[in-house]
Amino acid sequence: MGQSVAEKMAKDPAITEITIAGRNSEKAKRTASAIGEKANSMKADVMDEGEIARTAADSDAFVNTSGPDYVVQLPAVRAAIKAGVNYCDVSCDGPAAETVLMLDAKAKDAGISVIIGIGWTPGLDNLLMAHMVRQLDETEVVQTCLVWPVTDVVKGDSKKVAEELRNSGPFSASWETGMRCFSGQCKIYGNGKWVVVDPFENAVTLPDPYGGLVTAYPACGAEPITIPRYVRGVKSVSVLLSFCPFPLNELARQLAVRIRSGEMSTKEAALAFIETAGADRERWLAGSEKVTEEWPFWIVAQGLKDGSRVRYTLNVSPDWPSTGGPLYTAAKMLLEGRIKERGILPPEACLDPLPFMEEVASIVPGRPMAKKLFDESIERLD
């Protein structure tokens, strides 16, 4: 993601220099070399706030794509505040977001804009939730649902995937985040207040955009933490996640119990998830022939519209959303001074949903500009 954003920035004539910083100096050097003459590299650890603050101090924007979110977001934001530099990231962890929001006054005092969680989900889904709430007269509940197709285990070599994770150093962001989703503190917003729930005791079965049903589970995302603070009138907010093939949800449940008990770390759980699924494909990967590269992603809101109870469904086409596009667009807006708000800002606090999505869509190669951003439908329930 970081390389993708840096490559896009390098094509902008207004941007003169890009520094690629990371724990692996050789990887940072290779990345900078691939980007071209505008890029340089340095070895840096995002957990070292002083070092990162000194590195960022001479820059106009700090774009953070390190992870896992629940470990790195807080020190990275504190470093941006120390440096007095505008910042954006792709973090999706709810408890981390709740902690970072407490730095709002310090970010305002530093005169900077800190946009947190501006990727696909969170990011685009925050903005779409805000858009949907505005279309209803009263919103009872709004839910994002994401299906995670574990294609690198299903269609790849699970032993190789596990070995790559084992050798990835202290952190492996995506897999650790996946294990964290169900094992961390899962706070949702329900009936006008925040409540902590056990994901696997609060399963939700809802229609998917393709005419079927999906059973998904509340995940400890940032959206239930931020949406109620910035979008008026919403009573319940949750992020729902399901692994695909669906038997993997039971494996995730078993591992979540072991993480919570302190028996294993999120990285150890991720390794166990990959190796167990690969070793018993008949049990855990049943139905894998239907798994595609696409990540089904839709949002459902229920509430009142023109005196009737309705279900409002919005399906985002999989041909253009990604995390890199929203992150690049937000970074560009920061560099151009188009974000006027200061402080800690989730997407819904500082971005206009549809114009932002149109700008993101405009950078997708080969995408017709006339194509709809999403499909939507409203079904009367009474």
Q: Which two tokens stand for residue 360?
A: 């993101």
Confidence band of 169 (pLDDT split at 50, 70, 90):
low
Cα distance between residue 347 and residue 231, in whole Å: 11
Q: Does residue 89 sit in the same domain as residue 212?
A: no
332 domain residue, yes or no: yes
With 0-12 CB in 10 A as exposed, 13-18 as middle and 19+ as buried, what is 362?
exposed
Q: Does residue 72 sit in the same domain as residue 214?
A: no
Give the helix ranges, DSSP H, for the chain: 2-10, 25-35, 49-56, 69-83, 94-101, 104-110, 124-135, 151-154, 158-166, 173-183, 223-230, 248-260, 266-279, 281-284, 324-335, 347-350, 353-362
Pairing outcome for strands 113-115 and 343-345: parallel
Cβ–Cβ < 8 Å for 357, 373? yes
Q: Does residue 130 sit in the same domain as residue 77?
A: no
297 domain residue, yes or no: yes
Instruction: Look at residue 274 and tell me whether its pLDDT is greater than 80.
Output: yes
Q: Does residue 36 sit in the same domain as residue 69?
A: yes
Q: Does residue 78 sit in the same domain as residue 217?
A: no
Pairing outcome for strands 213-218 and 204-207: antiparallel
pTM: 0.94
Cβ–Cβ < 8 Å for 159, 153? no
- What pLDDT score was predicted for residue 368? 74
180 domain residue, yes or no: yes
As a whole number, mean pLDDT of residues 163-187 equals 81
DSSP 284: H
Could you tell me which residue, 174 or 226, shows the higher pLDDT? 226
Instruction: Look at residue 159 and tell me whether its pLDDT is greater than 70.
Output: yes
Q: Does residue 169 sit in the same domain as residue 286?
A: yes
Mean pLDDT (the chain) is 91
Instruction: Look at residue 41 and tell me whether its pLDDT is greater than 90.
Output: yes
Q: Does residue 278 sit in the same domain as residue 205?
A: yes
Q: Does residue 30 sit in the same domain as residue 83?
A: yes
Tell me which of 305, 337, 359 is where a domain ends.
305
What are the CA-CA distances from residue 204 to residues 16, 49, 133, 200, 207 (Å)? 49, 40, 20, 9, 10
370 domain residue, yes or no: no
102-153 pLDDT, tens digit each: 999 999 999 999 999 999 989 999 999 999 999 999 999 999 999 998 888 8
Q: Which two tokens stand for residue 291?
A: 């798994």
285 domain residue, yes or no: yes
Using DSSP, state whether 322 is helix, strand or coil: coil
357 domain residue, yes or no: no
**Residue 359: which residues within 8 A CB-CB, separation 6 or more?**
329
373 domain residue, yes or no: no
Q: Does residue 31 sit in the same domain as residue 156?
A: no
112 domain residue, yes or no: yes
Domain total of the chain: 2
Please give the residue range of the domain that contains residue 343: 2-119+323-351
- CATH number of the domain that residue 249 is part of: 3.30.360
Q: Does residue 136 sit in the same domain as residue 115?
A: no
Q: Does residue 111 sit in the same domain as residue 240?
A: no
- CATH number of the domain that residue 87 is part of: 3.40.50.720
Q: Does residue 78 sit in the same domain as residue 195?
A: no
- What pLDDT score was predicted for residue 170? 59
